[in-house]
């Protein structure tokens, strides 16, 4: 018996060793692979913003810094540029195939036609989309595609120096062209050389033309056709030139900018000018002693009052690093009610979000009136792809009309011809693409 047990023991031991080996092997195979932390992807947003005032850069720098603190994986490279050099900056970036991911500008249609822009309708969050001004949103679409979204808006009005008006015996601002001329003559009789401020410098010639185009019952474009040299527009520009020829404007319409004219008015040397509603924030802050008033843009006698609005937009260029989720987050942050309201208050703009618009309208009757007028205002033809080229051409018109002896008829005929030619040139590639 003892001898038999000794013979079985080695076999049992061998079996046990085999089972243990199998169990260990099985355990080893079922153990998870070593955990490797995935590399977190960073996003880049190059944001080129226009400088509206001395408040713009610090406001945006503060906002970008706070956004970066909350979103450490999204880098926002901010560049704030004056309007005088803004076009050159983003044009250079585009030529180097490094366009901005986000651009604050006043044009977009030519970029859209060239296929350079993202569809922001596919980027912005439903929450942001729901609170943008619907009229302006529609204006920033082409063929149903949201190539731009509104950023800020202004209403243009006549602003005047109350003290100067009182000295001239004028009790109310002019509503019509004849009243404007009469007011200007009375103020000039006081020995004032800076009477009605007219801005025909590079950045505002199109605005001054719009005042007299729309004020005469004319337009830039109608039913898809340019109407620049219409009889109404020619009459409007003729009236403006006559005011200058008779010394009823400021002496240098093509030299001093709108911002410079606002300071001249604040210093008590300019009687009146047309500007945006930011006048009410910027000028009183710099000239707290100024007694100023506000009136409508004067129109041709017999025509109904006219309201004119301007709005700037944000566009997003297609890049080799476009990150739609990051852009959506940043846009939500940019339009966040608290941050956006602070910007609107500091810069003096009209809000384009219904939430901030409602809040400010409840606090300010003037704001409420301006926002109501915005819904009925006339605007630049920003949906026309050749508008940027036409706008650039108008920059040359101030000196030509005022100093070079070109008649308003001839000047507007030339601009009309340019606009029609440019539109045809831009339609050809578009028609070719459709045929393909």
Reported as a single tens digit per residue, the pLDDT across 59-99 is: 999 999 999 999 999 999 999 999 989 999 999 999 999 99
Over 80: is that where the pLDDT of 26 sits? no
Q: Is the Cβ–Cβ distance between 331 and 47 less than 8 Å?
A: no
End-to-end CA distance of the chain: 99
Rounded CA gap, 212 and 161, in Å? Answer: 22
Rounded CA gap, 256 and 234, in Å? Answer: 24
Q: Provide the CA 150 distance to its chain's centre, in angstroms.
A: 7
pLDDT score recorded for residue 338:
96
Which residues touch 326 (CB under 8 Å, ≥6 apart)?
43, 45, 71, 74
Rounded CA gap, 204 and 194, in Å? Answer: 18
Give CA separation, 128 vs 27, 228, 311, 332, in Å: 53, 37, 18, 6
For tokens 């000295």, the residue is 167
Average pLDDT along the chain: 90
Which residues touch 104 (CB under 8 Å, ≥6 apart)?
47, 48, 49, 50, 151, 312, 313, 314
pLDDT score recorded for residue 84:
87
15-40: average pLDDT: 47
288-308: average pLDDT: 96
**Pairing state of beta strands 74-82 and 43-51?**
parallel
pLDDT score recorded for residue 16:
41
Q: Is the Cβ–Cβ distance between 254 and 402 less than 8 Å?
A: yes
Reported as a single tens digit per residue, the pLDDT across 215-240 is: 999 999 999 999 999 999 999 999 99
Reported as a single tens digit per residue, the pLDDT across 251-296 is: 999 999 999 999 999 999 999 999 999 999 889 999 999 999 999 9
Over 50: is that where the pLDDT of 17 sits? no
pLDDT tier for residue 31 given thresholds of 50, 70 and 90:
very low
Q: Is the Cβ–Cβ distance between 240 and 181 less than 8 Å?
A: no
Task: Count Cβ atoms below 10 Å from residue 343 Cβ, excluding itself.
Answer: 21
Reported as a single tens digit per residue, the pLDDT across 377-428 is: 999 999 999 999 999 999 889 999 999 989 999 999 999 999 999 999 887 6
Over 80: is that where the pLDDT of 432 sits? no
Which residues touch 74 (CB under 8 Å, ≥6 apart)?
42, 43, 44, 45, 67, 68, 323, 326, 329, 330
Rounded CA gap, 4 and 46, in Å? Answer: 87
Residue environment code for 199-214, b if the CB has 16+ CB neighbours within 10 A, otherwise e: bbbbbbbbbbbbbbbb
Question: What does the block give as tokens for 46?
Answer: 């190059």
Closest by alpha carbon to 209, among 377, 417, 415, 51? 415
26-32: average pLDDT: 47
pLDDT score recorded for residue 24:
42
For tokens 């129109």, the residue is 299
Closest by alpha carbon to 106, among 213, 206, 229? 206
pLDDT tier for residue 9 given thresholds of 50, 70 and 90:
very low
pLDDT score recorded for residue 426:
81
pLDDT score recorded for residue 427:
75
313-325: average pLDDT: 97
Reported as a single tens digit per residue, the pLDDT across 340-390 is: 999 999 999 999 999 999 999 999 998 999 999 998 999 999 999 999 999
Torsion sign over Cα 65, 71, 77, 83: negative
pLDDT score recorded for residue 261:
97
- 0.95 exceeded by the pTM? no
315-335: average pLDDT: 97
193-215: average pLDDT: 96
Reported as a single tens digit per residue, the pLDDT across 164-196 is: 999 999 999 999 999 999 999 999 999 999 999
pLDDT score recorded for residue 27:
45
Over 70: is that where the pLDDT of 7 sits? no
pLDDT score recorded for residue 429:
57
Q: Is the model more confident about 15 or about 44?
A: 44
Paired with 378 in beta bridges are 308
18-39: average pLDDT: 47
pLDDT tier for residue 146 given thresholds of 50, 70 and 90:
very high
């Amino acid at each position: 018996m003892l001898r038999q047990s000794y013979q079985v023991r080695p076999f049992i031991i061998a079996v046990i060793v085999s089972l243990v080996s199998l169990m260990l092997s099985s355990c080893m195979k079922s153990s998870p692979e070593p955990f490797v932390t995935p590399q977190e992807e960073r996003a880049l947003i190059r944001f080129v913003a226009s400088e509206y005032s001395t408040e713009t850069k610090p406001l945006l720098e503060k906002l970008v810094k706070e956004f970066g603190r909350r979103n450490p994986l999204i880098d926002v490279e901010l560049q704030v540029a004056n309007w005088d050099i803004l076009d050159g900056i983003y044009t250079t970036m585009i030529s180097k195939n490094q366009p901005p991911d986000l651009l604050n500008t006043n044009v977009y249609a030519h970029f859209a036609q060239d296929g350079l822009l993202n569809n922001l309708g596919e980027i912005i969050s439903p929450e942001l989309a729901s609170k943008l001004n619907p009229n302006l949103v529609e204006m920033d679409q082409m063929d149903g595609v949201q190539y731009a979204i509104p950023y800020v808006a202004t209403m243009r009005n006549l602003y005047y120096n109350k003290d100067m008006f009182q000295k001239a015996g004028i009790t109310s601002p002019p509503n019509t062209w004849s009243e404007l001329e009469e007011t200007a003559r009375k103020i000039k009789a006081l020995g004032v050389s800076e009477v009605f401020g007219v801005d025909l410098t590079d950045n505002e010639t199109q605005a001054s033309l719009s005042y007299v185009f729309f004020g005469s019952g004319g337009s830039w474009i109608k039913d898809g056709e340019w109407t620049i040299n219409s009889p109404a527009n020619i009459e409007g520009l003729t009236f403006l030139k006559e005011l200058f020829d008779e010394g009823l404007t400021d002496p240098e319409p093509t030299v001093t900018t709108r911002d410079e004219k606002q300071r001249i008015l604040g210093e008590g040397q300019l009687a009146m000018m047309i500007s945006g509603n930011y006048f009410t924030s910027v000028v009183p802050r710099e000239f707290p002693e100024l007694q100023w008033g506000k009136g409508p843009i004067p129109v041709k006698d017999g025509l109904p009052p006219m309201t004119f609005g301007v709005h700037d937009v944000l566009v997003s260029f297609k890049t080799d690093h476009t990150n739609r989720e990051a852009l959506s987050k940043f846009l939500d942050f940019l339009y966040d009610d608290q941050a956006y309201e602070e910007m609107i208050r500091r810069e003096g703009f009209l809000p384009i979000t219904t939430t901030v618009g409602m809040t400010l309208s409840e606090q300010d009757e003037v704001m409420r009136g301006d926002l109501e007028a915005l819904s009925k205002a006339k605007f630049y033809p920003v949906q026309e792809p050749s508008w940027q080229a036409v706008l650039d051409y108008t920059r040359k018109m101030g000196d030509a009309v005022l100093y070079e002896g070109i008649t308003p008829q001839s000047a507007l005929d030339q601009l009309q011809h340019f606009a029609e030619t440019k539109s045809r040139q831009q339609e050809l590639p578009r028609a070719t693409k459709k045929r393909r």
